[in-house]
Amino acid sequence: MCRFLGCYKNRITLTFKNVKYTKIEMEDLFEHLKKDNVEYLINNSLEERGVSALLSFRDEHGNTPLHIASGHNSINCVKFILDCDSKNTLINLGNNRRDTPLHNAVYGNYKECLEILLNHSSIDIDPKNEYGNTPLMYASLKNSVECIKSLLEHNADTSIQNKDGITFFDLLDEDIKTFIKEYSQSKKVIPNF
């Protein structure tokens, strides 16, 4: 049995779906997610609280375990969580800023994690956060050519404007704009520049 269940140091509890967690238990969970420790998730999913309660928990920023795993390129944990989420409720769930796990993977420039999320049958490729920014806009802010290419290949909407009226193309550095235009033409991806 792991220390997740034997934690008595911190009596602060958080309740989700009538299940109580101490602050230390949740910090422990998130540390294991960041380290891609899928065995920890498997072991704790089998405990009395169940996988649904464990994977649906949100931290003070509204992040679920899938947000944390996606934001740390924890590939095995991302796959496990998606496999356990039979109702596909977590993949498009936004945090307090309405960032989704897809936003987190793109922001971290985690190509492999991004591909796993993009290939999920229930993915919303163009979710907007509270500022109206999409994952494609995050990729542009980070000048992440690989993420931009992946999102374009999965038909990300290039015409979406954020709350300031800015598109993904407006956010790109000039040299990357030229590359993206040439790439789009060669791959027959027709963005709306």
Class of domain 9-124: mainly alpha
Domain 9-124 matches domain 125-193 at the CATH topology level = yes
Alpha carbons within 13 angstroms on the beta-carbon side of residue 106 total 30
Alpha carbons within 13 angstroms on the beta-carbon side of residue 119 total 9
Asked if residues 176 and 143 have their Cβ atoms less than 8 Å apart, the reply is: yes
- Highest mean pLDDT pick, 38-47, 57-66, 103-112, 165-174: 103-112
pLDDT at 140: 94
Pick the range with the lowest mean pLDDT from 5-9, 26-30, 52-56, 189-193.
5-9
| pLDDT band per the 50, 70, 90 thresholds, residue 184 | confident
**101 to 46, 93, 167: CA distances (angstroms):** 24, 8, 21
Fold held by 125-193: 1.25.40
Q: Which residue, 152, 144, 155, 160, is CA-closest to 184? A: 152
Given a cut of 50, whether residue 2 has pLDDT beyond it is no
Q: Domain residues of the chain, as ranges?
A: 9-124, 125-193
The pTM assigned to this predicted structure is 0.81
Given a cut of 90, whether residue 47 has pLDDT beyond it is no
pLDDT digits (tens, 9 = 90+) for 107-128: 999 999 999 999 999 999 999 9
H or E element: which one contains 82?
helix 75-84
